Amino acid sequence: MRRKHQPPTRCTRGKKQQTKIGSVGTLADGFLRHPFLPLYEKSSELPNSEKAEKDFFESLLILSEHYGFETIIIRDKSYPYNILLAKEQIKKQLKKTGQDIELYIMDDNGIIKLATQLHYCTGMTLYYIPVLPLYRLLQDKKQKRTAELLLSVFSYLYHIAQIPYYRESDTYLFYQYECMQEWLTDCFENDENQEFCTISTECNKASHYGDILFRKLYNLYHLNHFKERIHNYKPSTSLEKKCWIVAKKAWELMIQYPDHNIFRNTSNQDYDEYEGLISARQYISFIAENEGVLFENISRAINDEFNECSEIEEPRLLQIFDSQNQNLNGNLNFEYLFFPFLNDLCSLLNEIP
């Protein structure tokens, strides 16, 4: 490691004697151990203390039971500090869950309640699952069992997780491929243009082989034999072991969340109707390939479009904790498992030659 730059030295006047060295005095660090009360600006419309405390701590009890926290009641502080301190303690407990959860105190027609906003941040990631690597794997007779195992994974993603397939006309990526094909038709004037020839070839492969694979994964046979394929599969190579691990994750998701699709906690807005919003169905989809000249042109068009948007649709869930709330069983546990699984799957597919 390099030494830090030091200020230039200069001559100093000689000292008459050495500086005396003494013991350091007691540090005044007691303030570090002093708990400070939260700051608040008192409002003229502050709710009645007796009713507010009763409503708040009833809601807090429901929240604590839902998350499995110890019930927190601040008895040695006066109103409203007892409520503010209890809220801060709950926020610390929620942070330990590892999920993005915001805590609110709301006034519902004079009744004080606690509410949480659960959120999964996708990180502006395009969750595009390439299908042509699986098609190439299906052509290899030595990898037949591996290809069938991944075909069951794809069938789960399409039928249960409900991920859009780019060859269906009502999907966002179908529109992008169609625009690219129209652009090629309008601009293809020189047969010797290498880039146009490459894009045209990749477009034809994306449509032709994409349709073949779609007919395969659409067949529920692959989904019905998912468990059997995992049980009978004996991986030997590094790639086969990775395929088996990814398939097991998909199977566990399907068993644990048999009726969960990835759009269950999004608003499912139509991206054609809401300008400025990136819909979840726009950045989650099957795609032909996630490399090559065609993909570079499509991703450039998508990024240009998304850069004009100011909002992204992500999984969110609002929960209000009161005796009448019927949505306390909701959570984002599925999303916190599913999106990392998609990352693992895409990384695996990129390894297939």
pLDDT digit string (tens) for 272-328?
Answer: 556 789 999 999 999 999 999 999 999 999 999 999 998 999 999 999 998 776 556
Contact by Cβ (8 Å): 228, 203: no
Strand pairing report for 127-130 and 100-108: unpaired
Percent of the chain with pLDDT over 90: 57
> Which tokens is 185 given?
């038709």
The torsion of the CA quartet 78, 83, 87, 90, rounded to 10 degrees, works out to 80
How would residue 43 be classed by pLDDT, with cut points 50, 70 and 90?
Answer: low
Tell me: pLDDT of 198 over 50.
yes
Which of 119-123, 163-167, 338-342 shows the lowest per-residue confidence on average (mean pLDDT)? 119-123
User: Is-contact 53 61, C-beta < 8 A?
Assistant: no
| 271: confidence class by pLDDT, cuts 50, 70, 90 | low
Type of residue numbered 107: D
- For residues 344, 347, 348, 353, the Cα torsion angle rounded to the nearest 10 degrees is 170
**78/252: higher pLDDT:** 252
Burial 205-236 (b: 16+ CB within 10 A, else e): bbbebbeebbebbeeeebbebbeebbeebebe
Average pLDDT of the segment spanning 245-255: 97
Asked if 56 and 112 touch (Cβ cutoff 8 Å), the reply is yes
Q: And the tokens for 214?
A: 């779609």
> Bigger pLDDT: 189 or 143?
143
Question: What's the whole-model pTM score?
Answer: 0.82
The SS3 of residue 117 is strand
In this predicted structure, what is the pLDDT of residue 182? 86
Least confident window among 56-65, 102-111, 186-195, 271-280: 186-195
Which of residues 187 and 228 earns the better pLDDT score?
Answer: 228
Looking at residue 219, the DSSP 8-state letter turns out to be S
332 and 120 Cβ atoms separated by less than 8 Å: yes
Lowest mean pLDDT among 43-57, 187-201, 206-220: 187-201
Query: Tokens 């709301």 sit at which residue?
Result: 106
CB 302 within 8 A of CB 126: yes
Q: What is the mean pLDDT of residues 152-169?
A: 97
Adjacent-strand bridge partners of 114: 105, 321
The CA distance from 315 to 104, in Å, is 18
Distance CA 182, CA 168 (A): 17
> For position 107, what pLDDT does the model report?
86
Rg (CA), the chain: 29
pLDDT at residue 156, rounded to an integer: 98
- Which pLDDT belongs to residue 353? 84
Nearest to 127 by CA among 298, 347, 353, 296: 347
pLDDT digits (tens, 9 = 90+) for 201-236: 999 999 999 999 999 999 999 999 999 999 999 999
Write down the pLDDT at residue 286.
98
Contacts of 170 (CB under 8 A, 6+ apart): none
Q: In angstroms, rounded to a whole number, what is the distance separating the alpha carbons of residues 137 and 147?
A: 6
CA dist 264 and 4 (Å) reads: 54
**Which positions ≥6 away from 109 have C-beta within 8 Å?**
none
